[in-house]
Each structure stands twice: as C-alpha cells, then as structure tokens.
Structure 1
Amino acid sequence: MKPLRPWAVGLVVLLAGLVGLAGNLAAQRASAPTPVLPQSAFASIAAISLLTLVLGIRVLRWRNGKRKHMLDPIFAARTLVLAHACTYAGALLLGWHAGVIADQVALLATRAGNPVVLQALGMMAGGVAMVTIGFIVERFCRIPPEEGDDGEDSPGMRRRPGRAPDAEGGLA
C-alpha cells in the first residue's frame, strides 16, 4: 500500500472546503440551516480516533519487540487501511467545516458566540485530530528494514549511472 501523501490530503481538504462553502451558500439561499454536523458526531470522531490509535499501538508494540506471538498480517493491513480512512475522513471534516466557516466570517461580528460557528470549529479540531492520528498510525505500521539490508544492492533500488560494485560488493 502506498504511504499517505500530505499534498493529496491537503487537496482533499481544499476540495471539501470549496464544496462546504458552496453547500453553505446554497443552504442560506434556500433558508435552510447551516450544514454542520451535530454535536453527537464528536462521540463518533473520538471513538474512531481512539480505536485507530489503540490498534496502531498494538502494531507498534509488536514491531518494537514485544512479540509474544506472531502478528496477523491481515490485522496489520487492516490497521493501516483504517489509518488511511481516518486521515481522509478527518480531511473531509476539516475542509467542509472550514468552508462553512469561511462563508460565516462576514457574519461573525453580528453573531458573536454563534453556536453553529463554535460547533464547526469543534468539528475542524476533530478533523485535525483524525488526520494527525492517521499519519501517526501509518508510521506505526511501517516495517523496519531487515538486518543486513543497507539498501545499496537490494532489488528495486537503482544505482547511479557509471558506478559499479567493487570487489567486496559495495559501490566504488
């Protein structure tokens, strides 16, 4: 599985922000309520983030040597997929609610202490937490190099042109 790319996550945040801005404008024109997740979503965000972190710590502990038994590779792969999903879900939350707040900036002076804006700020914080936990758990799931793997002669590694191995097998 390919590692997360920060630019791709940033692009998701940006696109979700534009969609959130457009959604809030459409809601205002239709006299609908501001499209912000309810406060009960905080429990879901916390549960998903905590579960991802706990599973990631299990993989990290096994990787760092606390090996009572062999770790199921499917478990580790599922943990990695969960970390990626957590990151992208957090990016969507962050972007959407940032777009909603961007549209509400002009109204902040007249609506000081607006519960919708505070709720959107809280959802943005939850999105940042999910993205952060996703990146951290992805690091937990990385396999360290095996002993003796220097990366110089390993398959898939490219040598610089014009350099050949010397008599001991190293690069000259």
Structure 2
Amino acid sequence: MKSTMRTVRPAWLAAVVIGTAAIGWVATELTSRGRLALPVLPFSSLITMGLIAVVCLVLGLKVRRWRDGKRDKVLDPLLAARTVVLAQACAYAGAVLFGWHAGILLDQIPTIALRTDLGVIWQMVALMAGGVVMVVVGVVVERFCKLPPEDNEPTTKPRTKREGHGEEEFA
C-alpha cells in the first residue's frame, strides 16, 4: 500500500501558535505571582534555532537540486524522507517558539512603560523572529521536497479490493 505524507497546514501552524501563546501567557501569570523570572529562553537558543534552520535548508537544497534535474549522484530516498520530516518539525517548532514568546510578550505589554531595562522585551522579540524564520524555512524546504506531478501519468484512483487480501491497493 502506498502511503502519502501530509503537508504542513497553515491552519495547524496557527492553532499551535495560538495554543502555545495561551500557555505562555498562563505560565507568565503563574511565574509573576510566584515572583519568579519570566519563562523566556536565553539569547543563546537563537544559535540552536539558527543551526536547525541552516541544516534543514542545506538538506532541502540538496533534495531540490536533485528534483530539478541535477542528478549527478543518486539521492537516497531515506534522506529525502528525513528531510521532509525535519522540515515539518522545524515549522512546528518555530510555531511553538513564536507562540510561547508571543504569549509572554502579550502578558508584559502593560508593564513595558514601567520597565527601566527593555532587554528582556527585545529578547522575546528576537526569539519570536527566530520562530518565524524556522516556520518559513520548514515550509519552504517541505515544498522543495515535493515532486511535481507527471504530465503523462493519469490521475491515480484507488483500485478495488483484491480478492482474499482485504486491503486497498493504490497506484
């Protein structure tokens, strides 16, 4: 049976952003009441986010080059499949990081005028920007890995059940 992987859907990314923003907002409320520090990732996490995005992009470009006809070497199908999975994970991780820090920032907006040090605000904005970069890279690399439809192939339709097997076979 042929299996197909679903692409990242913008609605799901938006749902992840909204859900994690709500969780980030609640977490900030709880940590503020306990007089704890804001639950913000350090600036050094931008390095990790950047490395993930770069590795994803490099692998995606390798797959795209092969897809577009530069077939000097054989492309390992497992590498291509892992690249798609990495791209999807990158997009969803970016959505989580963006949403989390957006929720914290929303909670902190009323206190911005009272702050003498805006460093943590800029830190949240930088982490949100890193999340957006991860989402964009993930979606773009996923599209790099998508094969164009063949013009000479008819549209695929499910075949009838094979006798005795009870499974559907897809073309």
Are residues 1:63 and 2:67 paired?
Answer: yes
Match of 2:23 in 1: 19
Match of 1:47 in 2: 51
Are residues 1:75 and 2:79 paired?
Answer: yes
Match of 2:139 in 1: 135
Q: Distance in 1 between matches of 2:35 and 2:157?
A: 58
Post-superposition shift, 1:69?
Answer: 2.0
Over the residues paired in the alignment, what is the CA RMSD in angstroms? Answer: 1.2
Q: Which amino acid aligns with 1:3?
A: T
Post-superposition shift, 1:113?
Answer: 4.7
Match of 2:126 in 1: 122
Match of 1:9 in 2: 13
Q: Distance in 2 between matches of 1:136 and 1:155?
A: 26
Post-superposition shift, 1:114?
Answer: 1.4
Match of 1:166 in 2: none
Q: Distance in 1 between matches of 2:117 and 2:34?
A: 24
The alignment's TM-score, normalised by the length of structure 1, stands at 0.87
Point out the structure with max Rg over C-alpha: 1
Gaps of 5+ in 2: 159-171
Match of 1:155 in 2: 156
Task: Find 2:94's aligned residue among 90, 96, 120.
Answer: 90
1:42-95 Cα deviation digits (max 9, x unpaired): 110110000000000000000001101221110000000000000000000000
Q: Which amino acid aligns with 2:60?
A: G
Q: Distance in 1 between matches of 2:78 and 2:43?
A: 34
After TM superposition, list the pairs within 5 Å mapping 1:105-116 onto structure 2: 105-111=109-115, 113-116=117-120
Q: 1:147 to 1:69 in 2, by over 3 A?
A: farther
Post-superposition shift, 1:146?
Answer: 2.1
Q: Which amino acid aligns with 1:125?
A: A
Q: Which amino acid aligns with 1:68?
A: D
| Over 4 Å off, 4+ runs | none
Task: Find 2:32's aligned residue among 21, 28, 31.
Answer: 28
Could you tell me the percent identity over the aligned residues? 44
Gaps of 5+ in 1: 158-172
